[in-house]
Amino acid sequence: MFLDTEEEPVDDPEKHGGRVRTFPHERGNWATHVYVPYETREEFLDLLDVLLPHAQTYVPRLVQMEAFHLSLSQSVVLRHHWILPFVQALKDRMASFQRFFFTANRVKIYTNQEKTRTFIGLEVTSGHTQFLDLVSEVDRVMEEFDLTTFYQAPSFHISLAWCVDDARLQLEGQCLQELQNIVDEFEDSEMVLRAHAEQVRCKSGNKFFSMPLM
C-alpha cells in the first residue's frame, strides 16, 4: 500500500459520459469507495456480449462498465490527510477475514439515490452473509471517521452496464425477464458466475489500496 504525491482530481464531465457528481469536488477532498473487485474471465465477457446488445434494444444509450466490482461502502469524502489512517484502519479490520466463494446470477435494475443513473446488475445469490460481515467491519471504520455507513439491507451486486437518467420503466418487466432467461440458459452459467472474493480494495481519488483476504 502506498500513496504518492498529491494530485488534485479535476472534474471533466466529458470523461465520464456526462454523469452528474453526487457531491462537488473541493480542494483537499477525495471521493473514496470500498469494494471487492470482480476479476472477469473470458466466459463472463462472452455472456456480457449477449446481455448488453439485448438490453440496448430497449435502452440504446446503455454502456458497458469499464471495470467490475461489488460495493462495500457508499462513496464518501475524505480529507487528504485522513486517507492513510483510513486505509490502515480498514487493513486492520480485514486482517482476519477469510476468502470466500460467491455467486451473482440474478439480473436486477438499480439506480443511484438521485435517480440520475441507471445500472443493470447481477445480484449476489450466495455469499450474501460474508458480504454483510465485510460491510459490518467497513461500517465500523466509517463510524470512526464520522462518515456515512452502507445502506440498510443492501443488495450486493456487480454492475454490468449503465446509462444516464432513470431507465427503470424501459428495463424492468419484459426486458428484465428476457435478460434473466439469457443468464439462466447460458452454458455453464452457474460456474461462470461463481467467483472468489480474494481482496478488498479502497479507491480514494486516483489512488488504489489493496487488502488481501486470508
Q: Name the amino acid, one letter, at 94.
A: M
Distance CA 27, CA 178 (A): 45
Q: Which three cell numbers stand for residue 160?
A: 454490468
Q: In the annotation, is 25 catalytic?
A: no
Which residue among the candidates 25, 54, 69, 80 is catalytic per the annotation?
69
CB atoms within 10 A of CB 72: 24
Max intra-chain CA distance, the chain:
50
Question: Which residue stretches of 65-119 are H helix?
Answer: 83-94
**Residue 178: phi, psi to the nearest 5?**
-65, -40
Q: To which H or E segment does residue 112 belong?
A: none
Q: What DSSP letter does each residue of 173-204 carry, written as one string?
A: THHHHHHHHHHHHSTTHHHHTEEEE-EEEEEE
Which residue among the candidates 16, 128, 157, 196 is catalytic per the annotation?
157
Q: Name the amino acid, one letter, at 47.
A: L
Q: In the annotation, is 33 catalytic?
A: no
Distance CA 89, CA 145 (A): 10
- Catalytic residues, which ones? 69, 157
